[in-house]
Amino acid sequence: MVGTQGNRRTLYSKKVIIEAFLLLLQEKNLNKITVTNICKVADINRGTFYSYYNDPFDLMRSIEEELIEKMMNTINISGEENILNELLKLILINKELCKIIFNEKNSSHVLNTVLNSAHDITIAEIKKKLPNANETHLEYFFTYSTGGIIKVIRKWINDDMNIPTEEVVQILESMNVMSSQ
């Protein structure tokens, strides 16, 4: 059946739509991409696109939600001490997608969402390092830390992920140590 979840035609259609969209995102900002652009590159008709997505923004949300789900599963499996390393490995596995999604111009919320989901674990870790900090200070430190982590990950991605994930984690951990002193 056409349109059935898991149907080969459905999977193929979604795949070519996403590939075309990601190709266009390399050239244009999201708000400049039209359904017509996507259909032309994917070599599909508009009806096929609208069978799965409302517009390019809906398509972007769908891609981001799938990536968030993968990252959240990684966090849940990896345990608190390996979260960053496992996230970086997942980004590396999805290198081309992440280069596009985490590009500054696309202003994706994926990293924010994932890092904020680790809020309680992170706050508990910060409390251990700063036992006298009040809740307000802990929240500010969390915001500062996650903002820095996002920027470092984006830099790593923009630098074509040319240093090992373990080294990026060491850099981030050393920054955390320095900022908590």
Q: How far apart are the first and last CA of the chain?
A: 61
CATH code for the domain in which residue 40 is found: 1.10.10.60
Residue-wise DSSP of 122-133: HHHHHHHH-TT-
Q: Are 40 and 115 in the same domain?
A: no
Q: Are 38 and 67 in the same domain?
A: no
Q: Are 89 and 117 in the same domain?
A: yes
Query: What are the angstrom distances between the C-alpha of 160 and each of 91, 99, 173?
Result: 11, 8, 21
Q: What is the full per-residue pLDDT of the chain (181 aa) written as tens digits?
A: 445 566 888 899 999 999 999 999 988 888 899 999 999 999 999 999 999 999 999 999 999 899 888 888 877 765 555 678 888 888 888 888 888 887 766 666 787 787 777 787 778 878 888 889 999 999 998 888 888 888 888 899 889 999 999 899 888 888 765 555 5
Q: Are 96 and 144 in the same domain?
A: yes
Q: Are 101 and 17 in the same domain?
A: no
Q: Are 27 and 89 in the same domain?
A: no
Closest CA to 116 of 94, 139, 132, 137: 139
Copy the structure tokens of residue 74: 């990684």
What is the number of other CB atoms lying within 10 angstroms of the CB of residue 107?
A: 10
1 in a domain, yes or no?
no
Q: Are 74 and 94 in the same domain?
A: yes
Rounded Cα distance between 155 and 4, Å, is 40
Burial of 43: CB neighbours in 10 Å, binned 0-12, 13-18, 19+: exposed
2 in a domain, yes or no?
no
Copy the structure tokens of residue 53: 């997505």
Residues 6 or more apart in contact with residue 158 via CB below 8 angstroms: 99, 103
68 in a domain, yes or no?
yes
Q: Are 27 and 71 in the same domain?
A: no
pLDDT of residue 148: 86
Copy the structure tokens of residue 30: 């999201």
Closest CA to 92 of 152, 155, 157, 149: 157
* Number of domain units in the chain: 2
Domain of residue 16, residue span: 8-53
Q: Are 141 and 165 in the same domain?
A: yes
Q: Are 79 and 128 in the same domain?
A: yes
Closest CA to 179 of 135, 147, 157, 136: 147
Q: Are 73 and 161 in the same domain?
A: yes
Copy the structure tokens of residue 155: 């830099």
pLDDT of residue 127: 86
Rounded Cα distance between 177 and 3, Å, is 52
3 in a domain, yes or no?
no
